[in-house]
Chain A
């Protein structure tokens, strides 16, 4: 028996770009089928041999075990016309079982049991038997397998189904197609409506194809009914315009001896998409449809995708899972080096049906990114075969003596590549019911500090009901700038430190909750003595406007008594100073005052820090929210100069509108979820 060509192993890849760029190309092909092992228990077998099946008598008795001749017209039992196992046979239990018209190939596959992938060459010897066989098959086409055959004519005729699948791209199966054909109604979620539209389009495609086929068949019926032996070759489509003459039909493969009406005559390389042969299961779909492991993976935070093929039974071809935290992609089975190789083999064996053998292969065709100079792909995968020239080329230079046409073409290509690059990603929206605030902070200068060699440490404290969103491994909530040596006295130290902080605000976040920024200026001299030079604090509300210029922050430091001053001069050392609670207005029992004679906590002013803040806000936006949006913009423009602005009262007037919109959204979302759940329950029961 045939061993599977390639051992299935899981490929683990580290994703260095955007996972949304992942594209794979899948090719599936029907290789062969062969009879099931003959069963001995069906009644109706005309066995004249008293010993049962173990001692076959004549040559015909051998075959008596495998099938029953069903007389069709003037066909006779046994003899040359029995055609071996290529006839349809009758099984008591299930009636007629699947029998595809596969005469030349099946005979090939039967005779030599090696599975080869080369195109089947035509054999003139088959023609005669072929003719009578086809008459047989015409009348005795069984219903169950017939449906599969009719739907996947090209696949059964040996064509290769090609499909290009992107990450989390939904492809329908036939069952899902039928499910989504029904109009979900106007209050269905966007996803359902989109699926419905796709289903309609696919159905239209299928119907158009069927109509074309019918037209062709009808045209053929006008001519002589006997099968014509024609040599097929791939012809240009312009032959179609010459009317439907019998001889010149473009076809896919060179199945030359087959009856014309049996072979699908229309060249359709994308038949996989049309016939819903390959379908995917995504995170969006319900977990009940996914394999059992899916719920575990979802709990761990993985993103999953399963690719199935809708063959005689639904077969899982590829399972992909992506761990966004680690940036790892697990693909089982692993990518092949080329999809054309068709490395992986699927055997389908069902009761009382022929054993089918399919082979598939898939490869990674993520388009290359030309963002970096060396133009390497952002997906850390070794092989990146570009199948259809979709890859973006490295920027080419215009040759010096280019003609006008070449110049035009060159710029056309560049523009096409640029627009492709633009369309590769979806804009990241904040999660549902959350607002994203991105702060661009910049520490520009430090001035008037006592000692040189200063650096600034900053700490950010996010308010309640916010999440910090950032790249793993990089903490922007605290950090340090570089040390500046010539900073003492009147000189200003250019720090020039920029960083970006992104926060997600929940709905419960109150605008009065401020984001606190703490700065600590430290000096380290040549004897490695550390001294604190000052502390500063700044608080901003995350939802209102910020001052556009740089802010000058005054720094203060605790003085201590004369002993502390001596210590500081000779030894250095930083006292543990709880600046957070010092600056926290709510936690102080009394007011701070500069004129405080209390020697417990005297503070002195030191230098100033110059800080520049910019803010970007991103909300979930709906098209119906447009005028709310304008409303916001109008009010936001008149910003106050102080960062702690209190335009809460202005905001509150706009709040009811948006509040209404969000609660409506919530109601819709809850309704849709409930509907989905009920549908599932009803579907299962």
Chain B
């Protein structure tokens, strides 16, 4: 059984329109992957920056997975939520990215998108009434259904730094090139 160590941090979110953000992250993988140690999901604190439009999370990731197959390579899913002064939160960015397939240090930029408001009423609600729409089932993101009917708006970016350690893959003839 080969093992993968993912050690890193979710650094910050940039270019979002809303100032106060927090990030919910989770790691999705296929059937043949088992979690040995660590948390596969979590939520960061609320962060904002006074001068730039960025929020520093510095959320640590320390996950140890063991796998019996190359299928179902893990993916990191991030959901960025905004909080307003009335303590209401709504999602302002969904993004996901494959965990890189080469060991070493990687700096990933995850482009996110949010669900677009459908009409005037919904955009008013988004601005004043406590937030926009959210996806009711987030497995829409990583399942293979046709997604073009989903209207989205581009949002900001989430920057993640990962250090990957792979173990015992060469025993099974897996090469990362």
Contact = CB atoms under 8 A, between A and B. Distances in A.
Interface of A: 17-18, 369, 371, 418, 421-430, 436, 438, 440, 442, 444-445, 453, 455, 457, 469-471, 474-476, 479-487, 491-500, 502, 522, 524, 544-546, 548, 614-621, 629, 632-633, 636-637, 639
B144 A479 contact: yes
B150 to A, nearest CB: 4
B113 A422 contact: no
Contacts of B52: none
A428 B68 contact: yes
B175 A617 contact: yes
Given A482-B150, A492-B154, A621-B172, 5 more contacts: A427-B2, A429-B173, A482-B148, A496-B97, A498-B98
Contacts of B37: 418
B70 A499 contact: no
Interface pairs A-B: 5 shortest CB-CB: A494-B111, A621-B173, A425-B68, A455-B148, A619-B173
A502 B71 contact: yes
Interface stretch (B5-13, B28-36, B82-90): B28-36
B177 A480 contact: no
A483 B144 contact: no
B110 interface: yes
Contacts of B3: 422
Contacts of B113: 482, 484, 493-496
A385 B166 CA distance: 36
Contacts of A632: 175
B175 A619 contact: yes
27 contacts: A17-B31, A371-B34, A418-B37, A425-B32, A425-B34, A425-B68, A426-B68, A427-B2, A428-B70, A436-B70, A453-B151, A482-B151, A483-B152, A486-B153, A487-B154, A494-B155, A495-B111, A499-B144, A502-B70, A614-B101, A616-B70, A616-B176, A618-B175, A620-B173, A621-B173, A637-B177, A639-B177
B139 interface: no
Query: In this complex, which of A422, A427, A428, A492 has the most chain B Cβ atoms within 10 angstroms of its Cβ?
Result: A427
B142 A498 contact: yes
Contact of A422 (B1, B152, B173): B1
Nearest to B28: A498
A613 to B, nearest CB: 10
Given A495-B113, A615-B177, A621-B173, A482 B147 contact: yes
Interface centre among A421, A425, A486 (most CB of B within 10 A): A425
B101 to A, nearest CB: 4
B68 A427 contact: yes
A499 B34 CA distance: 20
Contacts of B66: 421-422
Contact of B95 (A369, A457, A494, A637): A494
B153 to A, nearest CB: 5
Interface in B43-90: 66-73, 75
B174 interface: yes
B149 interface: yes
Contacts of A436: 70
Nearest to B77: A498
Contacts of A423: 1
Contacts of B171: 427, 621
A483 B150 contact: yes
Contacts of B102: 548, 614
Contact of A440 (B1, B94, B101): B101
B174 A494 contact: no
B96 A498 contact: yes
B154 A618 contact: no
Nearest to B171: A621
Nearest to A492: B154
Nearest to A436: B70
Contacts of B34: 369, 371, 421-422, 424-425
Interface in B133-177: 142-144, 146-155, 157, 170-177
Nearest to B175: A617
B25 to A, nearest CB: 14
Contacts of A524: 148
Contacts of A481: 147-148
Given A619-B173, A636-B175, A438 B1 contact: no
Nearest to B2: A427
A427 B153 contact: no
Contacts of B14: none
B170 to A, nearest CB: 7
Contacts of B174: 616-618
Given A425-B1, A475-B144, A494-B95, A485 B151 contact: yes
Nearest to A480: B148
Given A482-B152, A487-B154, A494-B155, A629 B173 contact: yes
A421 B101 CA distance: 23
Contacts of B157: 494
B153 A438 contact: no
B172 A498 contact: no
Contacts of A470: 71
A483 B154 contact: no
A371 B35 contact: yes
Contact of B154 (A426, A457, A486): A486
The CB with the most chain B CB atoms within 10 A, among A371, A487, A496, A546, is that of: A496
Scoring B67, B75, B101 by chain A CB atoms within 10 A of each residue's CB, the highest score goes to B101
B144 A429 contact: no
Contacts of A619: 173, 175
A349 B149 CA distance: 68
Contacts of B153: 484-486
B100 interface: yes
A440 B76 CA distance: 13
B100 A614 contact: yes
Contacts of A422: 1, 3, 34, 36, 66
A430 B70 CA distance: 10
A445 B98 CA distance: 15
A474 B142 CA distance: 11
B99 to A, nearest CB: 9
Query: Which of B2, B98, B177 lies at the interface centre, i.e. has the most chain A CB atoms within 10 A of its CB?
Result: B177
A480 B146 contact: yes
Nearest to A437: B70
Contacts of A498: 75, 96-98, 142
A617 B176 CA distance: 6
Nearest to B110: A496
A120 to B, nearest CB: 47
A496 B140 CA distance: 13
Nearest to B170: A629
A359 to B, nearest CB: 37
Contacts of B172: 427, 429, 618, 621
B110 to A, nearest CB: 7
Q: Which of A445, A484, A615 has the most CB of B within 10 A?
A: A484
A467 B102 CA distance: 24
